[in-house]
Amino acid sequence: MSESALSTRETHALRRVRFLAKIMDEAVTIPGTNVGIGLDSVVGLLPVSGDLVTAAISLYAVGEAVRLGADRHVIGRMLFNVAIDFGVGSVPVLGDVFDAVWKSNVRNANLLEKHLNSR
């Protein structure tokens, strides 16, 4: 199902979540690869505080899902993605590489879109 099958409110919320995912996870493509990184990977370089900041920003998508009435299973999976990103992302060096691969914000945007389109 496409965005056109969604209400205006849902469409706008999904676009905001997708924009956040792009900025946080895929803003810049690493030259010579197809790998995108975003602010999550860059800000995450700051030990602990960077990961706290990016986790707080990532919770915006979860809030949008709650406002749109997503079920507890979807909310739980989204929170799990943020928790994994925060937990593993907090590990020096390994966490920075993990942030570039895990892309919790893109995962959460996909979960929200799938939920909205399945109703």
What burial class does residue 84 get, using C-beta atoms within 10 Å of its C-beta: 0-12 exposed, 13-18 middle, 19+ buried?
middle
- Is residue 115 a contact partner of residue 71, using CB atoms and an 8 Å limit? yes
pTM for the predicted model, two decimal places: 0.91
Cα torsion 58, 104, 109, 20 to 10°: value is 40
Q: Where are the domains of the chain?
A: 1-47+94-118, 48-91
By the 10 Å C-beta count (0-12 exposed, 13-18 middle, 19+ buried), 52 is classed as middle
Question: What is the C-alpha to C-alpha distance for residues 24 and 47, in angstroms, rounded to an integer?
Answer: 17
54-98: per-residue pLDDT in tens? 999 999 999 999 999 999 999 999 999 999 999 999 998 888 889
DSSP state of 33: S
Average of pLDDT values for 6-27? 97
pLDDT at 4: 61
Dihedrals phi, psi of 45, to nearest 5 degrees:
-65, -25
